[in-house]
Amino acid sequence: MRIAAIGECMIELREQSDGTFARGFGGDTLNTAIYVARLGVSVDYITALGDDAWSDEMISAWQSEGVGVSQVVRKTGRLPGLYVIQTDKHGERRFSYWRGQSPARDIFSGSRHPDLSNYDFIYLSGITLSLYGEEGRSNLFASLKIAAAKGTKIIFDTNYRPRNWATLNESQSAFLKIYALTNLLFASSQDLDALYGQSDRNMLRKLLPNAEIIYKCADPACWVMTAPDEILVHAKPIANVVDTTAAGDSFAAAYIAARMSSASAEESAIAGHRLAGQVVQFPGAIIPRDKMPAPE
């Protein structure tokens, strides 16, 4: 089984308690791709970078994690986007972005686009959709339809960030189009509240009647919805939450990896909670490799 994740990786600056910054790299779908690779799944990352030293570092880091880079486009004279993370005493974080000229925004523009049809699964998010203008999203959807017709399964994580969209109507329209192609959906009550003014999981079932749905609640639990069954799967309490960055990204990775190894949806959700619970106990999006939870 092979999966491709589509999105953007940016330079990450994480503010420390003394006001200095630690530098790393991150992006929602990239975080998921790294954790998927660590869990033994073959994965490529589809994006565009510049020809600068930071982009070179990103490529090397992804390769060291086992993430395939054959579909990474390099743009001459361009630089990757940048974001700053500020974390409060409760582990909640605030993001500030400088990404308007990121080369990742252009990868589905023009007449040449990545070939998505050779993968078993394609993973993307609401942030992925927000990267592109109408032309880029139209080309992306066309590529996804071609892949789906050949048997590729589409995995979508809502990851809705209102500031990334010009209007609410634009984001709602794009989400409806991706729902029509989605086989596995990760959604959160927080995203749905922001997107629709409500967080009713039954609405998701009406919008995606044939999809497998993971609906993450405000408390540490998720509904696993595989029609006609619905199971509430609780997460174990975490006493030492340091940074919630990539909690959802890592949950998705563990869930996907478990499902691809024939685990049940409930077992996969438990695996997702276990990895996310470990990730939030460390600063930054990617925890040290030796801190990955042991398989159960």
Active-site positions read 249
Contact (Cβ atoms closer than 8 angstroms) between residue 59 and residue 72: yes
Angle CA(225)–CA(141)–CA(190) in degrees, nearest 5?
Answer: 40
- Of the candidates 295, 296, 284, which has an alpha carbon nearest to the alpha carbon of residue 31? 284
DSSP SS3 for 41 = coil
Pairing between β-strand 67-68 and β-strand 72-74 as defined by DSSP bridges: unpaired
Contact (Cβ atoms closer than 8 angstroms) between residue 243 and residue 280: yes
If you count DSSP H runs as helices and E runs as strands, how many of each does the chain have, helices first? 9, 14
DSSP 163: G
Q: What are phi and psi of 106, to 5 degrees?
A: -100, 0
Contact (Cβ atoms closer than 8 angstroms) between residue 220 and residue 237: yes
d(CA 28, CA 22): 19
Angle CA(104)–CA(144)–CA(50) in degrees, nearest 5?
Answer: 15
DSSP 110: S
Q: What are phi and psi of 116, to 5 degrees?
A: -100, 0
Contacts 24+ apart (CB under 8 A), 145-148: 145/181, 146/116, 146/117, 147/116, 147/117, 147/119, 147/122, 148/181
